[in-house]
Structure 1
Amino acid sequence: MNVDSEKFKQVSFNNYGNVTIMGDISTLDFNTPYKITGVETKGKYGMSYKVISCRRDKPTTSEETYTFLKSILTLNQANELYKNYPNVIDMVLNNEPIDLSIVKGIGEKSFKKIRDKIIDNFKLMDLINEFKGLLSINVIRKMYDKYASIEKVRAKVLDDPYKFLCDLSGIGFKTADMMLLDFQKSNTIDFGYDLKTSKQRCRSCILYTLKENENNGSTRVRLEELNEQVKTLTPECANKFVECLKEDDIYYHVDNENHPYVSIKSTYETEKYIYDRIINANKFKEVYDCNYKDYTKIDEAQLTETQNNALKNLCENQFSILVGYSGTGKSFSVQGILNMLNDLGKNFTLLAPTGKASKVLGNYTGVDAQTIHRGLGYVPPKWTYNEENKLNCDVLIIDEVSMTDIFLFKRVLEAIDFRRTKMLIIGDPAQLPSVACGNLLHDLLSIKELPCTKLTEVFRYNDGGLMKVATDVRNSVQYLKEQKDSKKKMMVYGDNKDYTFINADKLEGINYLVTIYKRVLESYKPDEVTVLSCYRKGDFGSVALNGLLQPLANPHDVNDIHVTVKNQEFYIGDIVMQTVNNREAIAVTLDEQFGNKEWVEYKTNIFLANGETGVIKDITDDLIVIDFNDVLIGYSREDMQNVSLAYAITCHKSQGSQNKVIILFTPSSHTYMLNSNIIYVGLTRMQEKVFHIGDINTINRAVLKKENFERNTWLKELKNI
């Protein structure tokens, strides 16, 4: 900030002679005067100011309005909008409709950016000031978007403050609780009752605890455990616990062993829906009239009797399961199924939970495969295929089901009419369960009534290479032996030398990793090589590794066009990953209607899942264009906060994907996270070669540990409820 030091003599400078501000505020414009109230905060670089309020004067002249528009939009967009709506600021503040069809080059996404900017700067600041800066601009904006009235926002805060802040604004209970109690203590808001002992507070604490339980994978919790947590977090209102359990959005049940369980009601209903639909699916029994044994030969390979059972189950049932470990021939079984369906004249749809998994499915079948979201026609917030509009296919096949959470799977079942559509789900029971709650594949495998084919024979085990190593890891066999010759660092396994172990730990391992990466890039493209680590953060996590790999994979000069976000520099050509679900991505295309090339939006509300990877194609003053599976997406600097480099990624993020070369780094500092399942996932991402860098003792200990697949869920117990 530039501050008039003569006029504001009390303002403190930091160690570098600058005046700096910090806080959750709207994006500030260059060369614009702001009136700021802040609290002095001593930090790493000296004194700074935590912003309590930040406002700017509303433009009063045409020239000021035009300057404001140019600070948000491209020059051509600003010209177009100002030409058609010179009073656009007042129109937005008065919630007047604006016809974008007459404004060239500005779509809904671009206009939302200017609308938010106007409202943030000239309307919401009063509300921020009213709450003394305790509510961020993002929270205030969510409130305003919901009710479009400052007066209604005030009323809702008073009516049920915990529900309002936690449900609508996405604030966690602990933060909301601290804020609201602070509001009451400071007399910022008079709620008319004591929040600390209120039923609203107890109910919100219960829902928070249940949600945290879901974030850890389970869908229900023992009553006693829930009660203890509520007593710990909010002892003043814990006496309202029993009363709150009677609320409509909470489900309570005592099982046959007299164990009481509690969950969020909608989560219970999701698992109940899944169970009922699948159990009832095979009552329809449309049996295909064909000899499935005629399809045992795939190219030069022959399906085993067990593999062929997957074809039999599909012919005879509306719902069936195919599971198998890496190397057991799931892909050959699927190819036999598709050959059979083609001969029968049946149309089929192939889906997978992520873009990477659908690409793998498409590659080994030779058939177009889609993500579940795309296959169901998800255009946020609507699903094209649903209970009213069913999928039009004879067979639906979903791969990598272990990655699919219960809520997404419910969407799939809603879109199926089992009277005409068969469903086959495929998975690897040794892979990690979904990040979201539920344990779908493992729970379904525990339901004995469901027809299931389990493949266990690993065909290339005797080759002594990757398939043997991966199988030994899965079976907790310590395949690495201590080397008598301590100078021998590299051990090559297998007839085709597809697995190489490098006995090097931490910094020495990093040096080997960089050397191997350079050498591999002599024969492979950067997007054909993936480095895997257990952790994202830390000295040996994927973030740090990306810093080492980026200049090797995408060499750049300091003067090359780039954008810096959260201390990370992104260059054209960088491989990147979306790190959270994006339901409002915007597709862009190059347009020359203004006489020069400019990126313009042509399709809105595209869904990009957490974990999708892409390549940066262009960087302009206000846009970063990323190619996600041949769809060009336009990102702002703000959007890039949810994007990371992807030369190195975590093993969890890699699940469902494959690449030609995998470099797996498992240093001893990752011991806490390492187990046989994590290593198994990392190893089985490869198509041609794996270079595994780590410490022998660390790996030998890790393969004896198993991922805890136990999650407390309703699905596997519903038969007894």
Structure 2
Amino acid sequence: MIPFADRDGTAPSDDTAVTIRGRVQHITFQNPDTHFTIARLLTDPDGHRVTILGYMLLTGGGESLEVTGHWQEHPRYGAQLKVTRYQVLLPDTVDGVRRYLASGVIRWVGPKLVERLVRHFGADLLEVIEQRPHLLKDVRGIGDQTAALIEDGWKAHHAARHLMQFLQDNGLKPAYCGRLFKALGEDAVALLQEDPYCAVDEVPGIGFVVADTIAGHQGMPADDPRRIRACLGHILDQAVAEGHVFVPESQLLAQSQRLFGIETEALAGMVDAMVRDRDIHVSDRETDRRVYRMSLYEAERGIAARLNAMLALPLQEAAVSPETIAATVIQRLAIHLSSAQQAVIQGVLTHRVAVITGGPGTGKTTLVRSLHTVFHAMGQSVCLAAPTGRAARRLSEVTRQPAATLHKLLGYNPMAGGFEKDQDDPIDADVFIVDEASMVDTLLMAQFLKAVPLTAVLILVGDIFQLPSVGPGNVLKDIIASQRPAVYHLVEVFRQAEESPIVRNAHRVREGECPDLQAGHSLDLLAPFHFIAAARTGDVVRTIIDLCVNWIPDQYGLDPVRDIQVLTPVHKGEAGTINLNQMLQKVLNPGGRQRPAKFHPGDKVMHLRNNYSKDVFNGDIGRVTSVAAAPAEGLGVDFDGRRVDYDATDLEELTLAYAISVHKSQGSEYPAVVLPLLTQHFVMLQRNLLYTAITRGKQLVVLVGQRRALDIALKNDRPKQRLSSLRQRLIG
């Protein structure tokens, strides 16, 4: 007899694997991205109600299943069967076929069409669809198009189930099924059997480890050339993810041998093969050869070539005196420039490429507005740009001039899969001013410079003390270090900014000094800067929740979702983005708790990777406006007044954004910022990270945590070096 849960609702005490059959009565929860499902099963033959949970591709009630798994006891919901393997049992009766198709297994087949098909074919209907689909046209009202839709829908559904079973059989969670099926289609299993590593390049979010697991289960030899190539690519891609542009060859070979057990000779031979195939480039200029992904090698070389070409062209100097500059700015902007600011503007006017860098309150925005005005008065067309949508909107707000993202300027064409603007069709402008330039990585800067006319003027504006770009390279810092363009370091903090405790403390942190914690020592004071001491992680988290829900909205009148941003150094752990988002979602958007989905209407969400076809980019924050009744249909998100729709397979590009990483906050400002500081985040406690977080706050910054963690961050001024050759290439 099959060991079901005891009559009192508890699970059997042993851990024996059990197999049961039954019909799905109701799907309680299903994640449309990973297909993790909780359902109620009516068992055969005695009709017990059993809760099953696991990764299953189910479409609705009525499906007959055979499931294998282990009983577990949930403290609230009682006995549940955790499914490790399942199989859909195709019905062989008329009623069974009717229920099965009515559950929605074929997207295009509704209840009325199901009834007509069942009346015509009876219990043989499923066999007809699979083996003799041409007979479907014998049914009144079904033509070639409808028959083809039914056949294709049936094939797609069963191909997806076949893929899910394949993943389970190869030691992987079926959570990857959606992404793999979307990218590889109905032939996914055949393609993965032929070459598991095709998934690494073809499917976003599917890494080497997943492909290597499949390869191992398929019996691929450890020294198979496809595996060696994938191993080397994996090490290179890991380095790129950490911000490096190249990897020393000795390190690449040593890591590959240590991690994956491949002989050095075989690795070296594959390096040569990848060079011949132009997958990578190896530089022989150094003792320890540098290995680049070809795209990064060409991008880094392209940046240096374009900048050096611009710097080599003589610039007709504008005969503009400081007095004229000051008068123009006063007349048009009502801004009184200091003598130092006038000197910077006059200096910029004499250089084709210039960099302006400085911290908060040093007048970067004033200089950008003034430069725009002066160039415009000289009859020059000026293009204002920033790396992200939020940074571009902020630039437009403070300058009162149009500003665009670099991606928008470059005109990405999703149909062609590339940018429309380049050296053959450059952006039409005389002067380019790029704000938040420290956020621009190697690939984006290379593409942008291709589209900047060599005869134009380029001004890069940024704060090199902030965190570097999320993508590879440290472009702005390398350009400054090369000493090739003119560089203007702004150090004077102007009086109005100096009065701000946030600005004052940001500069103290930049110099390694402890911020002034006295002004905000009492939560009863409406001070702009606070440090709240909390020794335990749980206390830190509870304090953050209370700040966001009660204290900040009550004391400062700020909206808890729109105006308050929790920043944290890490993703995992009690004070990481994942847990904080779950907790903040419960208290800030409680109306969604009855919905069995990750996202609820009203949720604050962030887009995680550049999606040019949707015109949404990494770090963009929006609000969920609608969630379809069936989770598989996706949701709608409002990004600053523009609705973007996501289907089920797109949801991996979204995450909750009540709490985000400090890295993701770059280029943005928020009325209020809350930051946990804990010694358990030791690896991430860096001065530039703390500085970046503080400079994101406009009205209020609250640090919550341990004083020792604050001291660690202040002392740690040795951010991890990024391997790049840009400085040397610029020097020549």
**How high is the TM-score relative to the length of structure 1?**
0.77
Q: Specify which of 84, 94, 101 is matched with residue 50 of structure 1.
A: 84
- The answer to whether the Cα contact below 8 Å between 1:406 and 1:440 also exists between their aligned partners in 2 is yes
Superposition map of 1:172-187 within 5 A: 172-184=207-219
Residue number in structure 2 paired with 1:242: 268
Q: In structure 1, the residue corresponding to 2:684 is in which secondary structure?
A: coil
Q: Write the deviation string for residues 425-470 of structure 1: whole angstroms up to 9, x where unpaired.
A: 2111011011221111111111111222221222247537222211
- Provide the C-alpha distance between the structure 2 equivalents of 1:300 and 1:352, rounded to a whole number of angstroms: 25
2:375 aligned to which of 329, 336, 341: 341
For residues 459 and 114 of structure 1, do their structure 2 counterparts lie closer, same or farther at Cα, with a shift above 3 Å needed? Answer: farther
Matched to 1:611, the amino acid is G
Structure 1 residues 2 and 337: CA distance shift in structure 2, 3 A: farther
The reply on whether 1:363 has 2:397 as its aligned counterpart is yes
Q: What is the identity, as a one-letter code, of the residue corresponding to 1:520?
A: I
Q: CA deviation at 1:277?
A: 0.9
CA-to-partner distance for each residue in 1:207-239, whole Å, 9 max, x for gaps?
211111111111112222222112113334432
Instruction: Give the secondary structure class of the aligned counterpart of 1:701.
Output: helix
Which residue is 2:698 aligned to?
687
Alignment of 1:457-496 (within 5 A): 457-460=492-495, 463=499, 465-479=501-515, 489-490=521-522
Alignment of 1:220 with 2:256, yes or no, is no
Q: Is the 8 A contact 1:550 1:574 kept in 2?
A: yes
Structure 2 partner of 1:209 = 235
Q: Which amino acid aligns with 1:578?
A: H
Is the 2:69–2:85 contact (alpha carbons within 8 Å) kept by the matching residues of 1?
no
Q: Which secondary structure state, in structure 2, belongs to the residue aligned with residue 539 of structure 1?
A: coil
State the shift of 1:368 in Å.
2.3
Q: Which residue of 2 aligns with 1:399?
A: 435
Structure 2 residue matching 1:240: 3-state secondary structure: helix
1:655 Cα deviation (Å)?
Answer: 1.4
SS state of the match for residue 350, structure 1? strand
Letter in 1 for 2:426: K
Are 1:377 and 2:407 an aligned pair?
A: no
Deviation at 1:142, TM superposition (A): 7.4
Distance 1:317 1:167, change over 3 A: same
Query: SS state of the match for residue 426, structure 2?
Result: coil
Amino acid at match of 2:695: T
- How far the C-alpha of 1:628 sits from its partner, in A, is 0.5
Secondary structure of the residue aligned to 1:610 is coil
Change (3 A) 1:116 1:649: farther
Contact 1:162 1:200 in 2 (8 A): no
What's the offset of the Cα at 1:666? 2.1
Equivalent position to 1:520, from 531, 548, 552: 552
Q: Confirm whether residue 697 of structure 1 aligns to residue 727 of structure 2.
A: no
Using the TM superposition, give the Cα deviation of residue 661 of structure 1 relative to its aligned residue in structure 2, in angstroms. Answer: 2.2
Displacement of 1:658 in angstroms is 0.7
Does the 8 A contact of 1:491 with 1:501 survive in 2? no
Matched residues in 1 for 2:407 and 2:152: separation?
28
Q: Match for 1:530: what amino acid?
A: Q
Q: Can you list the C-alpha shifts for 1:381-429, whole angstroms capped at 9, x where unaligned?
A: 332323443212222222112222211222212222223x322221110
Query: Once superposed, what is the RMSD of the aligned Cα atoms?
Result: 4.4
Deviation at 1:198, TM superposition (A): 3.1
Indicate if the aligned counterparts of 1:252 and 1:263 stay in contact, CA closer than 8 A.
yes
1:110 maps to none
| Cα gap change, 1:280 to 1:68, in 2 (>3 Å) | farther
Deviation at 1:155, TM superposition (A): 7.5
Determine the structure 2 residue equivalent to 1:455: 490
Check whether the contact 1:322–1:427 (CA below 8 A) recurs between aligned residues.
Answer: yes
Aligned pair in 2 of structure 1 residues 345, 542: CA closer, same or farther (>3 Å)? same
Who is 2:534 aligned against?
A: 504
State the AA in 2 paired with 1:717. Q
| Pairwise CA distance, 1:555 | 5.8
Q: Deviations over 1:534-564 (max 9, x none)?
A: 22332223343344444654563866xxx44
CA distance in 2, matches of 1:44, 1:312: 74
Structure 1 letter corresponding to 2:446: K
1:544 equivalenced with 2:570 (yes/no): no
Which AA in structure 2 matches 1:454?
Answer: H
Find the aligned partners of 2:355 and 2:50 in 1 and give their Cα distance: 64
Count of aligned residue pairs for this structure pair: 640
Partner of 2:303: 274
Equivalents in 1 of 2:180, 2:588: separation in Å?
44
Structure 2 residue identity aligned to 1:369: A
* Superposed counterparts of 1:26-425, under 5 Å: 26=57, 28-33=58-63, 40=69, 47-51=81-85, 67=102, 72=107, 118-123=154-159, 133-134=169-170, 150=187, 154=190, 158=194, 161=195, 163-169=197-203, 171-184=206-219, 195-247=221-273, 248=275, 249-256=279-286, 258-287=287-316, 289-291=318-320, 293=322, 294-296=324-326, 297=329, 299=333, 301-380=335-414, 381-419=417-455, 421-425=456-460
- Label 1:371 to 1:227 Cα distance change in 2 as closer, same or farther (>3 A): same
Secondary structure of the equivalent of 2:476? helix
Instruction: For 1:623 and 1:236, locate their aligned partners in 2 and report how far apart those are by CA, in whole Å.
Output: 43
Tell me how far apart the structure 2 counterparts of residues 115 and 292 of structure 1 sit (CA, whole Å). 76
Counterpart for residue 11 of structure 2: none
> What 5-or-longer segments of structure 2 have no aligned partner?
1-18, 24-40, 75-79, 118-124, 134-148
Offset of residue 644 of structure 1:
3.0
CA–CA distance in structure 1, aligned partners of residues 228 and 626 of structure 2: 50
5+ long unaligned stretches in structure 1? 95-112, 185-193, 584-604
Deviations 1:97-156 (A, max 9, x none): xxxxxxxxxxxxxxxx99996543144656777788438889788788778784x98489
- Does the Cα contact within 8 Å between 2:178 and 2:649 map onto a contact in 1? no
d(CA) in 1 for partners of 2:389 and 2:354?
A: 24
CA shift in 2, pair 1:383/1:35, >3 Å: farther
Does residue 434 in structure 1 map to residue 469 in structure 2? Answer: yes
Tell me, in whole angstroms, the C-alpha distance in 2 between the residues paired with 1:447 and 1:315: 21
Describe the shift of the 1:2–1:556 C-alpha distance in structure 2 as closer, same or farther (beyond 3 A): farther
One-letter amino acid matched to 2:229: R
TM-score by length of 2: 0.76
Contact 1:196 1:237 in 2 (8 A): no
Deviation at 1:56?
A: 6.2
Determine whether 1:20 maps to 2:55: no
Q: Tell me, what secondary structure is at the counterpart of 2:82?
A: strand
Q: Match of 1:108?
A: none
Query: Deviations along 1:148-171, whole A, 9 cap, x unmatched?
Result: 784x9848954xx36534323454
Q: Give the Cα separation in 1 of the matches to 2:426 and 2:459.
A: 17
Q: Secondary structure at the match of 1:490?
A: coil
Give the AA of the match of 1:644: T
Amino acid at match of 2:356: L
**Structure 2 CA distance for aligned equivalents of residues 679 and 302 of structure 1:** 33
Letter in 1 for 2:501: G
SS of 1:332's equivalent in the other structure is helix
Change (3 A) 1:164 1:636: closer
Is the CA contact 1:353–1:401 (under 8 Å) kept in the aligned structure 2? yes
**Contact 1:347-1:393 within 8 A present in 2 as well:** yes
Is contact 1:220-1:713 (8 Å) kept? yes
1:490–1:503 Cα contact (<8 Å) kept: no
* Deviation at residue 42 of structure 1 after TM alignment: 6.8
Write out per-residue CA displacement over residues 243-273 of structure 1, whole angstroms, 9 at most, x where no aligned residue. Answer: 12212322222335x2322222222121111
Q: Are the structure 2 counterparts of residues 379 and 671 from structure 1 closer, same or farther at C-alpha, using a change threshold of 3 Å?
A: same
- How far apart, CA to CA, are the structure 2 residues paired with 1:12 and 1:63? 19
